[in-house]
Amino acid sequence: MSKLANRVALVTGGAQGIGAAIADGLAAAGATVVVGDLYPSPTHESLTLDVSNEESVGAAIAEIVAKHGRLDIIVNNAGIMFEESVADHDRSTWDRMLAINLTGPMLVTKHASAHLAANETGGSIVNVGSIEGDRCNPHHSAYAATKSGVHGLTRATAIDLGPMNIRCNAVAPGWIDTPLNASYVDSHPDREMVIDELAKLHPIGRVGAPSDVADVVVWLAGDESRFVTGQVVTIDGGRTVRPPLPGILS
């Protein structure tokens, strides 16, 4: 595949999990991929990036453009998640979640926009949101608030940067089989029962794989989605379109 040949992509938080799958997918489509993360990628060109620090963001983007001569695609994937009731929130943990999950995408977009606009084909930004941007699990108030903010930022960015020939979309993954989620499942006394029950939540009959998200991101990054902007694409195997029923009825 060479759909993204001659294009340079930055994937934040791309050293592992969904971000690593996105980096692999973009590279397979022909893009030159740079992973910006606090940790190095084992398979792609990497640079140290703290998305919550504007100086770090500016320096990373300047380094990419200096080395590769252009920047075409941004995937704002870096994020964190922890569980804490809103009644017990410590201000420092709230601020950290906000800084990484929401302020980070804004800073990367801000510093990348002029470079994206300079390309003959324009640019594409893909933000990684979550189904929790619209719905929420217990003790996820900070996470849900930031992901809802990512969805709003996506729409606002599409409006502001559309005249510069820059598109901005988001993906909203559901339950994806990442190392983080796998460790959560593994901690349960009956792991197989948890896997079975998770699969039953999805009309498609399984949880998602990182590549399921990556394939949609690659499409949004390329020309095949050239008239798509300001959209949040849900990737959840149909989980959120089916209202839950009591166990005795389901």
Specify if 247 maps to a domain.
Answer: no
Specify if 15 maps to a domain.
Answer: yes
Question: Given a cut of 70, is residue 152 above it in pLDDT?
Answer: yes
Specify if 191 maps to a domain.
Answer: no
CA distance 152 to 170: 10
Specify if 105 maps to a domain.
Answer: yes
DSSP code for 51 = T
CA distance 228 to 220: 8
**E strands of 58-202, at which residues?**
73-76, 123-128, 166-173
Tokens at residue 159, please? 């409006």
Point out the catalytic residue in the list 103, 115, 132, 143: 143
Residue reference for tokens 């620090």: 53
Question: For residues 113 and 61, is the Cβ–Cβ distance under 8 A?
Answer: no
Q: What is the pLDDT of residues 56-68, one digit of tens each?
A: 999 999 999 999 9
Q: What is the pLDDT of residues 201-212, one digit of tens each?
A: 888 988 899 999
Instruction: Answer yes or no: 143 catalytic.
Output: yes
Q: Which candidate, 32, 35, 29, places its Cα nearest to that of 14? A: 35
Question: Given a cut of 80, is residue 194 above it in pLDDT?
Answer: no
Question: For residues 154 and 134, is the Cβ–Cβ distance under 8 A?
Answer: no
More confident residue, 199 or 102: 102
pTM above 0.75, yes or no: yes
Question: Given a cut of 70, is residue 250 above it in pLDDT?
Answer: no
More confident residue, 208 or 52: 52
- Percentage of the chain surpassing pLDDT 90? 76
Into how many domains does the chain fold?
A: 1
CATH code at 66?
3.40.50.720
Question: Comparing 76-85, 164-173, 187-196, which segment has the lowest mean pLDDT?
Answer: 187-196
Question: Other C-beta atoms within 10 Å of 164: how many?
Answer: 13
Domain that holds residue 12: 8-176+209-237
Residue 1, pLDDT score: 56
